[in-house]
Amino acid sequence: MDALYRRVFGNDAAEASRLRWEWQYRRNPNNPGGEPEIWIAREGPAIVGQYATMPVQLSVGGTQVQASWGMDVMVAPERQRQGLGEILFRTWDRNVGASLGLGLSESSYKLFQKLRWPDVGPLPCLVKPLTRRALRRPNWPVPVNRLVSALTLPVIKLVARTRPLGAEVRMLQRFDESFTELWNTLAPRFDLAVRRDAAYLNWKYVSAPHVRYSIAALRRDDRNVGYAVYRHLHEPRGRVTLLVDFLTDPDDQPGFSTLLRWIDREARQADSDKIRTFAMHAAFRRVLRRSGYFQVKSTVQFVTKVNGVDVHPAFYENTDCWHVTLGDSDQDR
């Protein structure tokens, strides 16, 4: 499988996958029967394809469904476009209560379309500029970049100004069981969302081997009522703070905006030029826009097919109450 992975995705991706493999596939707390959920296509002794998945509990209108994110699907180059991919996709789908795909390659997106998986993407991307460098484009000449910086500076200063926190925010090392209770209270508020209990959150954001996250908890009356997971990174165009995942009651506008103000401070302290996040839920996006975020073009495609409970075709048309973020699937790698 490793040799096939190298041939299809290249050496760098294969090395990165090896670093994550034990954690991503073996230590997932939602593995059915405690085993990784990976389908293999064989021809005699040779492995010619695989579909590796990330099992999750999915809340669909408050009902829990055993689902999985499809990822790392591949067919040997000389055997592509001969129907093996279709067999792998359908086998996976027949065995899960909901099949989910996020951030697809062109070939897999086309195959999902051909097989008529409901297409609900792309996952909206929002960016908040913090410095003049946030708007730089490498393909613009220096004088144009300077002019754009000068013209937009007043707006950026206004958007990026520091504002007081409206509630207590505390940094965490781990998620305790109160976050499972928080999830159980909030799950019915979402039409579709991955179950964010303490076991899942600790696996995903505390023990990931390839990135280090910061975690902030929103507190009210001595209780945890929300969280935000984020990290800072260097990109060729500057420093970025990624708001990877978050949760509050979607109606708790002051709560979510307090978390966003906390992220602003953290990003400024890390000298970030911008903050980037992905959010599907309309209420969260509204608060993000009011907090200085702008929606930009997203290339993160999202497909999903629910099998475990009956859903009406209209279910896939109104995704305003779906909670999906960059933390879902294995997007942040």
Nearest-5° Cα angle at 138, 135 to 140: 80
Q: Does 8 bind ligand COA (CB under 6 A)?
A: yes
Q: Does 84 bind ligand COA (CB under 6 A)?
A: yes
**Residue owning tokens 């999906």:** 324
Q: Which residues make Cβ contacts (< 8 Å) with residue 150, sequence separation at least 6?
A: none
Q: What mask of x and - would describe binding to ligand COA in positions 189 to 228, judged by CB under 6 A?
A: ----------------------------------------
Dist. CA 102–CA 99, nearest whole Å:
10
Q: How many residues bind ligand COA (CB under 6 A)?
A: 19
* Cα distances (angstroms) measured from residue 16 to each of 12, 101, 201, 270, 330: 6, 20, 22, 25, 12
Q: Does 82 bind ligand COA (CB under 6 A)?
A: yes
Q: Does 287 bind ligand COA (CB under 6 A)?
A: no
Return the DSSP state at 328.
S
CB burial readout 201-218, b (16+ within 10 A) else e: bbbbbbebeeeebbbbbb
Tell me the closest approach of the beta carbon of residue 109 to ligand COA, in angstroms.
8
Q: Which stretch binds ligand COA (CB under 6 A): 52-60, 72-80, 257-265, 282-290?
A: 72-80
Q: What mask of x and - would describe binding to ligand COA in positions 106 to 145, judged by CB under 6 A?
A: xxx-xx--x-------------------------------
Residue placing its CB nearer to ligand COA in the complex, 50 or 59: 50
Q: Which member of 15, 35, 43, 86 binds ligand COA (CB under 6 A)?
A: 86
Give bridge partners of residue 47 from the DSSP assignment. Answer: 42
Q: Which residues make Cβ contacts (< 8 Å) with residue 137, sequence separation at least 6?
A: 145, 237
Q: Does 241 bind ligand COA (CB under 6 A)?
A: no
Tell me the closest approach of the beta carbon of residue 166 to ligand COA, in angstroms.
40
Q: Does 91 bind ligand COA (CB under 6 A)?
A: no
3-state DSSP assignment of residue 325: strand
Single-letter code of the amino acid located at 309: V
Q: Which member of 74, 96, 187, 216 binds ligand COA (CB under 6 A)?
A: 74
Which stretches of the chain bind ligand COA, using CB under 6 A? Answer: 8, 73-75, 80-86, 104-108, 110-111, 114
